[in-house]
């Protein structure tokens, strides 16, 4: 957990585990420095005012601290964990809606435990791989995927923004997701 590793390999999981295990403020300050400004930017993009975005970004990171003990690196990357907290704060505070959520400890969960080897191999949840696949998407496809994460009512909003029929927006999103799957698959197998 050296600074050098932090700068290059971004071991967010190790930092978050240090927060969970020893209340490591230095580890937390590095998570804060990287994620708080991105969470704030995400909230501004969702239509919140600068003061609300600042407030919710602080709250998101404060929740990260309090929830650190629940983080399980076998189940999600640290950045996905932060994305979920930020998204749920956004829904609750900006959109004022409820979001029913799966309980990962629900005894009804079928199958109860997902096999660890599959989890390790899940290229679709490797954020670096997803980012490089997104960068390879044609710009028009990349755009509709990103907008899907920023709009309250994405299909009509994207249709208006891009001056496209809703049907075209939907089919473009479908094509983009399929293309992303292909890219992730191909990149995971080391072909180019």
Partner 1 sequence: MDRHHHLPDDLLLAYAAGSLAEGWSLAVASHLTYCLSCRQRDGALEAIGTAALEEMPPEPMDAGAFEACMARAESAEAEQPGNVVAGSNTPAPLRQYLGCDIDAVKWSPLGGGIRQHLIETGDETRARLLFIPPGEDVPQHTHQGLELTLVLAGSFADGDEEFHAGDIEVADETVDHTPVSGPNGPCICLAVTDAPLVFRSWLPRMIQRFAKI
Residue 162 lies near partner 1 (rule: CB under 8 A):
no
What part of residues 35-54 is at the interface with partner 1 (CB under 8 A)? 36-42, 44-45, 53-54
Residue 167 lies near partner 1 (rule: CB under 8 A):
no
Residue 99 lies near partner 1 (rule: CB under 8 A):
yes
What b/e sequence results for 78-101 when a residue is b if at least 16 CB atoms lie within 10 Å of its CB, and e otherwise?
bbebbbebbbebbeebbeeeeeee
Residue 180 lies near partner 1 (rule: CB under 8 A):
yes
Count CB neighbours of 137 within 10 A.
19
Closer residue to partner 1, CB minimum distance, 9 or 174: 174
Closer residue to partner 1, CB minimum distance, 5 or 62: 62
Distance CA 166, CA 170 (A): 6
Task: By CB under 8 A, name the one of 2, 4, 8, 100 that touches partner 1.
Answer: 100
Residue 149 lies near partner 1 (rule: CB under 8 A):
yes
Closer residue to partner 1, CB minimum distance, 14 or 44: 44
Distance CA 103, CA 64 (A): 18
Q: Where does this chain touch partner 1 (CB under 8 A) — which range of 1-9, 22-30, 160-168? A: 22-30
CA angle 23, 29, 67 (to 5 degrees): 50
Task: By CB under 8 A, name the one of 74, 102, 116, 189 that touches partner 1.
Answer: 102
Distance CA 162, CA 156 (A): 10
Residue 16 lies near partner 1 (rule: CB under 8 A):
no
Distance CA 11, CA 34 (A): 12
Distance CA 156, CA 169 (A): 9
Nearest distance in Å: CB 93, partner 1: 12
Distance CA 166, CA 160 (A): 9
Q: Where does this chain touch partner 1 (CB under 8 A) — which range of 1-9, 140-148, 159-167? A: 140-148
């Amino acid at each position: 957990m050296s600074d050098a590793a932090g700068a290059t390999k971004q071991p967010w999981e190790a930092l978050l585990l240090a927060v969970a295990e020893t209340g490591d403020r230095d580890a937390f300050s590095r998570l804060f420095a990287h994620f708080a400004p991105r969470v704030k930017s995400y909230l501004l993009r969702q239509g919140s005012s600068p003061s609300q975005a600042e407030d919710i970004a602080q709250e998101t990171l404060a929740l990260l601290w309090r929830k650190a003990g629940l983080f399980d690196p076998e189940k999600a990357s640290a950045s996905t964990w932060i994305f979920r907290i930020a998204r749920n704060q956004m829904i609750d505070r900006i959109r004022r809606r409820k979001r029913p959520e799966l309980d990962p400890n629900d005894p009804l969960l079928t199958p109860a435990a997902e096999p660890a080897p599959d989890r390790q191999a899940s290229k679709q949840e490797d954020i670096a791989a997803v980012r490089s696949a997104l960068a390879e998407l044609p710009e028009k496809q990349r755009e509709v995927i990103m907008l899907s994460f920023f709009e309250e009512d994405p299909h009509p909003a994207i249709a208006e923004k891009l001056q496209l029929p809703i049907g075209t927006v939907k089919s473009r999103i479908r094509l983009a997701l399929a293309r992303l799957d292909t890219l992730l698959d191909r990149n995971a197998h080391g072909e180019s």
